[in-house]
Amino acid sequence: MWSILPLFFLATTVYGAGEFSIIHHPGSIVFRGHDSVKQSTLPEVYTAALGFSTEHFSHWQGFYIENPFNIPEAIVTIAVDGVKDIGQNKGHHYPLLTNDDEARIFRSLAKRITERFPNEEPTLVRIDLSNGLDDVKQYSIFDGIKSDSPKHVSHKHLKLDVEEDRDFLKDIAIINQVAQKVSEGVVKEDFVPDVYWFRIASLHALSDLHGENSTQTQEAKQLLQDTITHLSDVFSKAYGNHVFVNVMTSDASHTRVRRNILATEEEQELKNKYNLAAKYNKDFPVIFNIILWLCVVIFFSIFAICVATATMDPGRDSIIYRMTSTRMKKDN
């Protein structure tokens, strides 16, 4: 019993550390306090910020709406994977419990906007920068961005001949080009909510390579901060200050990897010690229910047939008894 408790603890520890930072927002919405917020609550925060009714109740009290007639028209989110924070001093910050996937949050928000504006064409952009220019090319508003060359990004300690450094600088170069396109007027206010979602995973590998407190990592974080500030400025200008810019950081990838490794070792030890059977896969409940209820239906069907046959009146009900009567008709 006591040997199983460590495995149970590992299985239930699902939260990673992170930070939810508000970089820019209209004066109509207010952020107060520094209470931690769950990542699964963020769809409700974004939904409320856009003036929609929320779908789920939350006890988080860090967000208030003071003027419902001056709400944001666009959400701009920068999701940074693999680090607890980027050292951002600007804005309002909340500890983030990363119990959800950032891609699911975007899909949930996009779905809600689409449902409320079925006859409009909201701009719903999600760019995973680890895919290079492939995601950028999916959106016509960013036509003309054809290069992710990091040569024009100013840096001192990062080296282009180091793959991890080069990948991060490429991401910065792409964001700068996106900011340039926005400043050229490719987006504008149209009274339909828009979402711009950027995922950065390259800082994770860079930090792992050089160390969390290394000069390279600190320079990378500073470059990212400057880039986010510039991106916030151009979006704020494009939408007439009606934009909600935020940064979501999460080290859940580190936390989950460590947990999975330890859990695997514990599971193998318990399996060897107690001769435990292999785990069922996710399809087991479906297969089990199909077999169970099919067997139940077959059993009662056969039972009903047997009862009907046993209580049958041979002289009235059965055509077999009527056609094989011993009293055959004869011609006189």
The reported pLDDT for the residue numbered 249 is: 94
Confidence of residue 318 (pLDDT cuts 50, 70, 90): low
The reported pLDDT for the residue numbered 286 is: 85
Please give the DSSP secondary-structure letter assigned to residue 185: T
AA identity, residue 233: D
Domain ranges for the chain, please list them: 17-250, 286-323
Name the range with the highest mean pLDDT among 10-24, 135-149, 214-228, 308-322.
214-228
Confidence of residue 259 (pLDDT cuts 50, 70, 90): very low
Question: In the predicted model, is pLDDT for residue 270 greater than 80?
Answer: no
The reported pLDDT for the residue numbered 8 is: 36
76-80, 104-108, 327-331: range with lowest mean pLDDT: 327-331
Confidence of residue 279 (pLDDT cuts 50, 70, 90): low
Percent of the chain having pLDDT more than 90? 53
129-138, 234-243, 304-313: range with lowest mean pLDDT: 304-313
Question: In the predicted model, is pLDDT for residue 289 greater than 50?
Answer: yes
Q: Which residues contact 48 (CB under 8 A, 6 or more apart)?
A: 54, 63, 65
The reported pLDDT for the residue numbered 167 is: 93
6-15, 112-121, 151-160, 226-235: range with lowest mean pLDDT: 6-15
DSSP-assigned letters across all residues of 56-80: S-----SEEES-TTS--SEEEEEEE
The reported pLDDT for the residue numbered 178 is: 95
Question: Two tokens at 83?
Answer: 């680090």
Q: Which residues contact 75 (CB under 8 A, 6 or more apart)?
A: 46, 49, 50, 109, 193, 194, 195, 196, 197, 243, 244, 246
Q: Give the residue with greater pLDDT, 167 vs 68.
A: 167
The reported pLDDT for the residue numbered 2 is: 39
Question: In the predicted model, is pLDDT for residue 118 greater than 80?
Answer: yes
Question: What's the whole-number mean pLDDT along residues 106-114?
Answer: 94
| pTM across the whole model | 0.72
Q: What angle do CA 212, 213, 215 make, to 5 degrees?
A: 115
Q: Which residues contact 191 (CB under 8 A, 6 or more apart)?
A: 73
Question: In the predicted model, is pLDDT for residue 312 greater than 90?
Answer: no
Question: In the predicted model, is pLDDT for residue 121 greater than 60?
Answer: yes
Q: Give the residue with greater pLDDT, 287 vs 16.
A: 287
Percent of the chain having pLDDT more than 70? 80
23-27, 66-70, 124-128, 192-196: range with lowest mean pLDDT: 66-70
- Supply the mean pLDDT for the chain: 83
The reported pLDDT for the residue numbered 298 is: 96
Find, among 204, 179, 200, 165, the residue nearest to 84 by Cα.
Answer: 204
The reported pLDDT for the residue numbered 296 is: 95
